[in-house]
Structure 1
C-alpha cells in the first residue's frame, strides 16, 4: 500500500497483482469517481435531508469548493481530520471534500465525547475537526476547544450550525491556543486543479474500537481501491440502479450505512440517498413513504420497532424491495414478519469494520435467508473457521471466523501490538466472531467468542 499515511500494513505484491488482474481494483479515487457520477447523473437527486434536495452536479460543485476551502485554511495532503457529524448532507460533502483535498477523514461517531475524541485526535495527530456546533443539547464546540487547548495537534475546527442558530465565532476566529474556528458553510472557494492522487492511498480511517484515555483506538485504513470495490460489488449484488432510493437510517459513518452498498454504492449507480438523523420508526417510516424508499439497512432491534409501530402509523412502505439486517443476531420470527408486513424480502448481512461482508443473495431460498448470513461478497474473499488451536474445523462445526480479501486491510493503523494478536502471519484477520459454515457454503455467525485466552501464534502453527 503506497500511502501518504505511515503506519499502514501493505497487501503483499502477489495479492495486489491478483486483485488488479481480477478487476476488483481499478485505480480511481473515490472523490474522482464522484466527478464521473456528476457528469453521468448531473440533474438527478443525489441527497435528500428534510426539505433539502441536492443534485449530483450540485454535490460535486460543493465538494469542489469545500475542498478548496480546506486548502485555503492551510490544511495539506496527508493530514488527518476528525469528522463527527450526524446524518446530514454535510457529512457526505465534507468527507468527499477532504478526500479531494488529499486529506484523510477520520470517522468518529457523533455520540463520542471528550475522552474518545481527544484520544482520537492525539492518536491520529489530527490537525482538523469537522462537527456540529451543538447537537442534541451537547456543546461540541466547547469540547473541541478544550481538546485544542491541550495541544499540540488540533489547529482547525469547522462547525456545522443548527438551523436558526449561528456559530459563537461568527466567522474565522483564532483562540488563545492558536486554533482557528470557522463555520463549515464558509468553506467556499474557487475550485483548484485536481490533485494527482493514487487509488492505493488511504481514503479514510474507520474506527473499529471505542478507544479510551488509557488505550489506543483501533483504526482501519481503507484505501480508495479497496473501498470503491466493496461499494461497487455490494451495489451489484443487490442490483442497485438509478431508480433506487436508499434510506440511511443508521449512522452515516458506520460501515453498514456508508458502503454496504449504502451511501457510496447508491451514489455509484445514480440513485438517491435519503439521510435521517433519528432511526426511530416515526421519522423513518414517514421518509420511506414520502421518498418512495426501495432499500435500507437496519439492525434487528430497529426492524422489530418499525414492524411493531407500522400498524399504528399506517405508513405506506410498499416501495420497499429489500431490507438489509445486520449488526446482531436476527430472530427468525422477526425475519418471517418482514415479507408479509412490508411486502419485501430481508437480506441478512454480517460485516466487520475490518472489511469482510457476507450477505444472503436476493435469489436465495427462504430458508437460507431466514437462517444464515449468506456468502462472502467477493469471489476472492478467503474464509477460514478455526478452533482454539488455529486448526480448520469441518463444515457444520463452530469456530472462530478468519478472513482476508481485496477489501480487508492487512493491519490496523499504527497498531503493531493489536496486529500481532488480531491478524495471522499470513494475513487473515481474526474477527473474534464464532461461526459455522453450512454444506451449501453459507455462514452462520452466532456471536462473539467466549473470553477464553488463546495460545500465542508462536505456540501454535496455524492450519496444523
Structure 2
C-alpha cells in the first residue's frame, strides 16, 4: 500500500471497521474474497468484453467500450485534475452515460464517490462535501435547465470544493471539462491505474443515509463488503449474461449502484438506464429494449403506471421481475399490477447501511403481497427488538428492525453521536423501522410496519423533519414549528408544517414558506406542501411535541375535506 493511502486511512478515525473475528469468518466462508470493488468490476468486464453493458437513449456500449471510457476518465482525473487515491468526489449527476463512466472512473482512480441526489441543493451538498472531506465535484451542466451547474459554481466559490468537473454543457472559467478529462486520459500512460494501491477494507463509496441534518449520516461502504452486497443481489435476482435491467430512478444512490450498476456488471448483464421515471418514456424503453427486470419500482411509480392510459396498449410480457420497494406497497396495488398488467410483483427492503431483503420469485401471493421477504444472503442476521431495549420481541409482534452481517455497516462515518444511538452493543444496526417477523409454512418472512424515526417518506425520497424545522425557525415570523407526514395516495406521504407564529406576524403560506427555504439552499422536494397555523403545538405527558397528535389532526382534516373515511 502506498504512503498516500496509509496516510488517508490514518486520517479516518471516524470509520468504524468490521472486527477481526467477523472479517476472518466472512473470508473463510467465501463471502469476502480479499479484492477491491474496482478490481472485481474490471475482472467482470474483461470476461464479458464484447457483450452489451450500458444502454441509454444516446449510447449503446459493450463492456470493452464502457471500461475504455472509465479508464480514460480515471487517468485524466488523476493527471489533469490532480485526484489521488483516498480523495473524495461529490456527484451531482442525472441518469446519463457520463455518470456511469465518471463513477467507474473514480473507482479506478482510487477516488471515493460521494453519492447525492440531483434534487439536493447547495446546503445539502456543501454539508456532505465538508463531512467527507471531498475535494472534487462532478456536475451535469444540462440537468434541468442548468441548475446543477449553478450549484457547482456556488459551491466552488464558497470553497466547499476545490475543483469542479463539468459534463454535457458549457464549462465555466476555472472548471474542468469532462470531455477534456477523458481526452487527456486517453493519451496517458498511467499503468497500473491508481486503484491498484487500494486495500479491500478501504472505503470505496460514501452513501447518504436518507437525508442530511446539521450532522450528516454517511454510510462508508467498504470495497470488500460492497462487492459482496452487489454480488448477493445479483444472485438473488438470478442475473446472468442474458439479463437486461431497466433502471429509472437516480443512479447515484445506493439503490442505483447496489441493485443495478454493480450487480449488472458483476453478472455480465446489460443495464438500460432511463433518463427519468416518466411513464411514456419508460414504456417506450420497454418496447424498444425488452428488459426482463425492473429491480426497483417505488409504489408511487407503480400507481402512475396503473393509471396511465398508454399502459393498456403496451406489451409488458418481457418483464419477469417487477420489484417494488422504497415504502410499503398496498396489497390491492400489487393485486391490480398482476390482474391488469400481468406483472408478478416481488417486494424488497433495502438501506444505504447495507441489508437487503427480497420476496422469493416462487413465493405465494400472500408472501409477495404482504411482506418484503427474507434477507438475500446467508450471512445476514436480523433481530426484531423492543424499541426501548436490546431485547427481542416475540414472533408476530411489532418491534424495531435491526440487522448485522457481511455488508451492513458497523458505524456511520465520523458520527459518534449517531453511532451511540444507532447500533446495539454487539453491532446490530437499529434501522428505526418497525417490523414484524412472520413464521409461516413457506419460511420466515418480514414485513415493514412503519417507523420510529421522524422521517417523511415522499415516494422514494426521505425528508428528515429536523433538518427542515431547523431552517423554518430561521424565519423571523416563526416562533415554533413541527413538520409531520400527511398521507398521500400517490407518494405515500407529503410534509405538513404546523407553525406557531410570533405575535402580530403575517401568516405564512406554502409559497412564502417555500421561498424562505429555497433561499437557504434546501432541496425543492423537501418543501412542506401544506401549512397549518396554530396557537401552540400539542405536548406529550413528558413535555415533548406530540407529532402523533399532529399526524392525527392532519389525517382528520384530509378526511373531512375529501369525504373519504376509508
Q: What is residue 10 of structure 1 aligned with on the other side?
A: 17
* Aligned residue runs from structure 1 range 43-192, under 5 A: 43-72=50-79, 73-151=81-159, 154-161=161-168, 166-169=169-172, 173-174=173-174, 181-188=175-182, 189=185, 190=188, 192=190
Q: What is residue 31 of structure 2 aligned with on the other side?
A: 24
Pick the structure with greater CA Rg.
Answer: 2
Q: What is residue 268 of structure 1 aligned with on the other side?
A: 266
In 1: Cα distance, 2:332 partner to 2:412 partner: 37
Tell me whether 1:430 sits opposite 2:438 in the alignment.
no
Residue 450 (structure 1) shift: 6.8
Q: What is residue 450 of structure 2 aligned with on the other side?
A: 447
Residue 124 (structure 1) shift: 1.6
Counterparts in 2 of 1:67 and 1:393: CA distance versus 1, 3 Å: same
**What TM-score results when the alignment is normalised by the length of structure 2?**
0.74
Q: What is residue 43 of structure 2 aligned with on the other side?
A: 36
| Equivalent pair of 2:305/2:311 in contact (CA under 8 Å) | no
4+ residue runs of structure 1 moved beyond 4 angstroms? Answer: 310-313, 450-454
Residue 272 (structure 1) shift: 0.8
Deviations, residues 228-282 of structure 1 (Å, cap 9, x unaligned): 111111111111111111111111123223213x221112111110111210211
| Equivalent pair of 2:280/2:310 in contact (CA under 8 Å) | no
Q: Partner of 1:28: helix, strand, or coil?
A: coil
In 2: Cα distance, 1:453 partner to 1:394 partner: 28
Deviations, residues 84-141 of structure 1 (Å, cap 9, x unaligned): 1111111111111111111111001111111111111222221100011242124323
Q: What is residue 419 of structure 2 aligned with on the other side?
A: 419
Residue 342 (structure 1) shift: 3.5
Tell me whether 1:281 sits opposite 2:271 in the alignment.
no
Tell me whether 1:199 sits opposite 2:197 in the alignment.
no
Q: Partner of 1:135: helix, strand, or coil?
A: coil
Counterparts in 2 of 1:112 and 1:384: CA distance versus 1, 3 Å: same
* Aligned residue runs from structure 1 range 287-436, under 5 A: 287-296=285-294, 297-309=296-308, 311=310, 314-390=313-389, 391-436=391-436
Which deviates further from its counterpart, 285-294 or 182-191?
Answer: 182-191
In 2: Cα distance, 1:392 partner to 1:142 partner: 50
In 1: Cα distance, 2:341 partner to 2:202 partner: 42
In 1: Cα distance, 2:72 partner to 2:421 partner: 43
In 2: Cα distance, 1:320 partner to 1:104 partner: 34
Residue 453 (structure 1) shift: 12
In the comparison of the two structures, how many residue pairs are matched?
Answer: 436
Which deviates further from its counterpart, 303-312 or 243-252?
Answer: 303-312
Quote the RMSD (CA, aligned, Å): 1.9
| Equivalent pair of 1:67/1:191 in contact (CA under 8 Å) | no
| Equivalent pair of 2:283/2:311 in contact (CA under 8 Å) | no
Residue 389 (structure 1) shift: 3.0
Deviations, residues 136-184 of structure 1 (Å, cap 9, x unaligned): 1243233222222222x522100112xxxx4143xxx43xxxxxx1111
| Equivalent pair of 2:248/2:273 in contact (CA under 8 Å) | yes
| Equivalent pair of 1:324/1:348 in contact (CA under 8 Å) | yes
In 1: Cα distance, 2:85 partner to 2:105 partner: 12
Residue 316 (structure 1) shift: 1.6
| Equivalent pair of 1:34/1:60 in contact (CA under 8 Å) | no
Q: What is residue 177 of structure 1 aligned with on the other side?
A: none
In 1: Cα distance, 2:333 partner to 2:216 partner: 34
Unaligned runs of 5+ in 2: 1-5, 455-539, 543-566
Unaligned runs of 5+ in 1: 175-180, 455-464
Q: What is residue 526 of structure 2 aligned with on the other side?
A: none
| Equivalent pair of 1:87/1:248 in contact (CA under 8 Å) | no
Which deviates further from its counterpart, 380-389 or 278-287?
Answer: 380-389
Residue 396 (structure 1) shift: 0.2
| Equivalent pair of 1:159/1:182 in contact (CA under 8 Å) | yes
Counterparts in 2 of 1:453 and 1:330: CA distance versus 1, 3 Å: farther
In 2: Cα distance, 1:204 partner to 1:450 partner: 25
In 1: Cα distance, 2:215 partner to 2:541 partner: 21
Deviations, residues 278-332 of structure 1 (Å, cap 9, x unaligned): 1021111111111001101201110111122155562221110001101111011
Which deviates further from its counterpart, 240-249 or 336-345?
Answer: 336-345
**What TM-score results when the alignment is normalised by the length of structure 1?**
0.90
Which deviates further from its counterpart, 217-226 or 23-32?
Answer: 23-32
